[in-house]
Amino acid sequence: MARGYIRTLAGESSVDKERLDPWGTSTVKDYSRLQSEFGIEPVAPLLPRFKKPSPHLSRGIDFGQRDLGRIIDAVDKNKPYVVMSGIKPTGDFHLGTKMTADDMVYFQSLSKKGTVFYAVADVEAYADNGLSFEQTSKIATRNVADILALGLDPDRAVVYLQSEELKVMRLGTVFSRGVTNNMLRAIYGERQIGLYLAALFQAGDILMPQLKELGGPKPVLVPVGADQDPHIRLARDLAARYHEEYGFIPPSAIYHRLMLGLGGSDKMSKRSATSLLTLDDTPRDATQKISHAFTGGRDTVEEQRRLGARADICPVYDLYRFHFAKDDEHVERVYHECTTGIRLCGECKQEVIGLVKTFLESHHKKRDSLMNDAKELMVKSRNYLASTGN
């Protein structure tokens, strides 16, 4: 059931022989290479196992996985599993971050036995961005309220600050003794030690939910953007290396495609602010940004009517497909009208601006009403983790 609006692999094959860069701004150009070269498996064969696939699944946005079957098994057998992710609390939630959050919320919702672990990397925010722990704590609370507004169930969620979680610090230190520089170079290329260090502590975040104090080994799913695969490989490698001592099960991962920034050239990322749409933007900001966005349109109306526009390089099309279309049929219609020249870029932008505005107004209301719940969740989590010993 290949659908036209799922970007074909052929359309993306401009070859990028570089190593994946989890810290970069460039987008992934060749998703098929991730499969052949790094062993990421396709999601498609597993789709029939989902009763109600999420839009990310049904639209091919979640395109790849490692050991996702282990999570579906846990859901089917009513066994505990964890969905984990994290954020560096340096600013507003943007649409790239929202994609991970959407996956987190969806996979948590599949079973009452699913728990979310959410790591707030405040030490990194301090080291990299000079943000005080007070500042990051405020930002983090707001970020948590964003996820709650997106549907996270706080009753099965644990949010923690890196600076307060000794278990992660301990694991990171243990791992730093167990890896070799060659192993890190093979995964990340030659990097400065600060990045290696951040990666090792992130592996600590990913593997912490399997510690004995937290109920022991269990399936853990990490939803990530395609460019973050190096972190997954490191965590899986460490899980194997420390299996005897900790009993770690290799963490599973699901990979989503990267959204284009509004400038059209890079992925949407905090590192290129102008191309960023955030959950904090006012409807007015959003309108302006989208109005100025790059599109896949042709040079003239005549040409566009004749050749159709290029949805595959268009960040405005990505807004529909990744976030704001009402349903799959809506995405398909936009794609069809765009690529056959029925729809022009101006009207296409107007339509999506309407959808974005509606979403933002509703989201802001929800989030504001959830700020206290976010604080409560953070306090509850801290008490829970403290009770598991350090």
Positions in the binding site for a second copy (CB under 8 A): 123-124, 126-128, 133, 163, 166, 169-170, 173-174, 176-181, 184, 190, 192-194, 196-197, 200, 390
Closest contact distance (angstroms) between CB of 127 and a second copy is 4
CA torsion 261→324→46→154, rounded to 10°? 100
Alpha carbon distance 264, 279 (integer Å): 19
Which is closer to a second copy, CB of 78 or CB of 383? Answer: 383
Backbone φ and ψ of 266, nearest 5°: -105, 175
Which is closer to a second copy, CB of 21 or CB of 280? Answer: 21
Q: What is the DSSP string of 160-212?
A: EEGGG-HHHHHHHHHHHHH--HHHHHHHH-S--HHHHHHHHHHHHHHHGGGSG
Closest contact distance (angstroms) between CB of 18 and a second copy is 20
276 beta partners: none
Which is closer to a second copy, CB of 181 or CB of 388? Answer: 181
Alpha carbon distance 253, 66 (integer Å): 5
Alpha carbon distance 121, 201 (integer Å): 9
Closest contact distance (angstroms) between CB of 137 and a second copy is 12
Q: Is residue 295 a contact partner of residue 316, using CB atoms and an 8 Å limit?
A: yes
Which is closer to a second copy, CB of 71 or CB of 168? Answer: 168
Closest contact distance (angstroms) between CB of 383 and a second copy is 18
82 beta partners: 115, 220
Which is closer to a second copy, CB of 169 or CB of 313? Answer: 169
Closest contact distance (angstroms) between CB of 176 and a second copy is 4
Closest contact distance (angstroms) between CB of 313 and a second copy is 35
Closest contact distance (angstroms) between CB of 170 and a second copy is 6
Q: Which runs of E-coded beta strand occur in the chain?
A: 41-42, 62-66, 81-87, 114-120, 157-161, 220-225, 252-256
| Residue 271 per-residue DSSP state | T
Helix (H), strand (E) counts: the chain: 16, 7
Which is closer to a second copy, CB of 65 or CB of 163? Answer: 163
Instruction: Say how many CA atoms lie within 13 Å of 159 toward its Cβ.
Output: 27
Closest contact distance (angstroms) between CB of 146 and a second copy is 26
Which is closer to a second copy, CB of 129 or CB of 265? Answer: 129
Which is closer to a second copy, CB of 133 or CB of 294? Answer: 133
